[in-house]
Amino acid sequence: MNRRALYKELWDQLSADKPLIMLAGPRQSGKTTFARDIVAKDFSDVIYFNWDLAKDKKRLISDPIFFSRESRSNASSRPLVILDEIHKYRDWKNYLKGLYDQFQSEYQFFITGSGRLEFSRKAGDSLAGRFLKFHIFPLTLAELSGRRRTLKDFIDDPLEGFDDVPIGRTAESFRSLWELSGFPEPFTKGKKTFWLTWSASYGQQIVRDDLRTVADIRNLDNIETLFALLPGKVASLLSMNNLAGDLQVAFDTIKSWLLLFDSFYLTFRLSSWTAKISRSILKEKKIYLFNFPIIDDEAGRFENLVALEFLRAVETWNDHGWGKFNLHYLRNKNKQEVDFLIVENNRPFLLAETKLSDDTPAASLLAFQKLLNIPAVQLIKKEGVKKIYKNEKNNVLVVTAHCWLSTLP
């Protein structure tokens, strides 16, 4: 299934159950294109609104139900209302609540945004129970290959079923992602020079334009400096105390800035899995970037690429309602660490380690596998590798990363 079909399937599934659907993901990952060029084709009447456009913003403020004034192609049609970047409106939750309560039977609402449209559904939240959501991320190997396995087959045996992918094509996709990221525009341009100019403005644009619209940030230079430090922190435990010291700001300031980076999909962080792990690390998280080619360290960039592949997969499974999946890392106070652990319904399911070229299973991977008694894979950047190792009752697959990741559900 290709990328468009994957997300269209999700839209069809969710919109059949709710008239208010949210689509979240990084800026320039394809949300608006998907909404206007794919979803809108199923509707005879479409109203598009973008909070970033001054004329649209003025229109909503002066007439919050402006869309209801638009004519319809016929009286029985159900228009699609696309509200892009509406989360930048300070009272956006109550606004959407009002739209849902008044117009849920008359319109289909599609909310898209680069700010993370994630919040609690606990009692008292104005949007609790009124929406369903899904995500679009930058391009990944599985989307590019069109050879995604079913989740059932993957869960039955994650170490098999990937051998029929066209290796030459997946290797080429990997090289392009490695140099250009999975953001559609630089990826499709296929030029490192274009990515360099695109990337130079991407992070700064979000910090100076987007973050400033939702947060009272008084020192943009400091927050830009913080973001510039993060490529060197990828794949290691992130100490907010050290960052606070480096920038000479309060711990809580660093904490709030990092949350903003997460919210606007500049970064994502993984917490450690602590259940059943003696002497586990409890607090520190590992940080990763969506625009990972800015990472100079080869091992860090490789781990980040794999992290984004897993994140896309886990979020897609959750969006489909196939279970409750989470992505973690493992580390104990003896400094044994495994890069990734996928958890299904609070049950460890798969261990994954990344190495540039080492085709012998890492000692920490073997140790944690014995403890958790689950499958394990070691993904390496080196080409032409596929080996199976026995680890007591379990197997460890050591394999070239793009071959295995290209079939990730």
The DSSP 8-state label assigned to residue 136 in this structure reads -
Domain termination residue (choose one: 135, 158, 175): 135
pLDDT digits (tens, 9 = 90+) for 334-349: 889 999 999 999 899 9
In this structure, are 128 and 176 located in the same domain?
no
The pLDDT score that the predictor gives to residue 121 is 45
Residue type, 157: D
pLDDT digits (tens, 9 = 90+) for 131-175: 999 999 999 999 999 888 999 999 999 999 898 778 889 999 999
Pick from 191, 227, 233, 177: nearest CA to 207: 227
The pLDDT score that the predictor gives to residue 374 is 97
The pLDDT score that the predictor gives to residue 184 is 96
Rounded (10°) CA dihedral 310, 312, 313, 314: 80
Residue 285 has pLDDT above 50, yes or no: yes
List, in sequence order, every beta strand (DSSP E) within 72-167.
Answer: 80-84, 108-113, 132-135
Domain termination residue (choose one: 118, 135, 152): 135
Please compute the mean of the pLDDT values over residues 175-188 and round it to a whole number.
Answer: 97
In this structure, are 325 and 391 located in the same domain?
yes
> Torsions phi, psi of 336, nearest 5?
-80, 135
Q: Is 244 exposed, middle or buried (0-12, 13-18, 19+ CB in 10 A)?
A: middle
Confidence of residue 280 (pLDDT cuts 50, 70, 90): low
Terminal Cα-to-Cα distance of the chain (whole angstroms): 10
Please compute the mean of the pLDDT values over residues 310-316 and round it to a whole number.
Answer: 97
- Helix count and strand count (H, E) for the chain: 16, 14
In this structure, are 187 and 110 located in the same domain?
no
In this structure, are 333 and 376 located in the same domain?
yes
Residue 219 has pLDDT above 80, yes or no: no
Geometric angle at alpha carbon 161, from 299 and 180, rounded to 5°? 35
Do 242 and 198 meet the contact criterion of CB atoms below 8 Å apart?
Answer: no
Pick from 380, 135, 178: nearest CA to 292: 178
Average pLDDT for the chain: 91
In this structure, are 230 and 202 located in the same domain?
yes
In this structure, are 219 and 303 located in the same domain?
yes
Domain termination residue (choose one: 106, 135, 164): 135
Please compute the mean of the pLDDT values over residues 238-246 and round it to a whole number.
Answer: 92
In this structure, are 261 and 196 located in the same domain?
yes
**In percent, how much of the chain has pLDDT > 70?**
94
In this structure, are 98 and 243 located in the same domain?
no
Q: How far apart are CA 398 and CA 92, in angstroms?
A: 48
Residue type, 363: A
Please compute the mean of the pLDDT values over residues 23-27 and round it to a whole number.
Answer: 93
Residue 119 has pLDDT above 60, yes or no: no
The pLDDT score that the predictor gives to residue 122 is 45
Pick from 108, 42, 9, 24: nearest CA to 322: 9
In this structure, are 329 and 241 located in the same domain?
yes
Domain of residue 114: give its range. 3-135
The pLDDT score that the predictor gives to residue 90 is 84
Confidence of residue 129 (pLDDT cuts 50, 70, 90): confident
* Orientation of helix 240-247 relative to helix 251-263, angle to 10°: 110
Residue 117 has pLDDT above 80, yes or no: no
Q: How far apart are CA 292 and CA 120, in angstroms?
A: 29
Residue type, 387: K
For 56-70, 157-171, 358-372, which range has the lowest pLDDT when averaged over its residues?
A: 157-171
Residue 379 has pLDDT above 70, yes or no: yes
CATH of the domain at 17: 3.40.50.300
Residue 105 has pLDDT above 70, yes or no: yes
Do 406 and 145 meet the contact criterion of CB atoms below 8 Å apart?
Answer: yes
In this structure, are 249 and 206 located in the same domain?
yes
Please compute the mean of the pLDDT values over residues 387-396 and round it to a whole number.
Answer: 96
The DSSP 8-state label assigned to residue 389 in this structure reads E
If one counts the domains in the chain, the total is: 2
In this structure, are 350 and 288 located in the same domain?
yes
In this structure, are 125 and 159 located in the same domain?
no
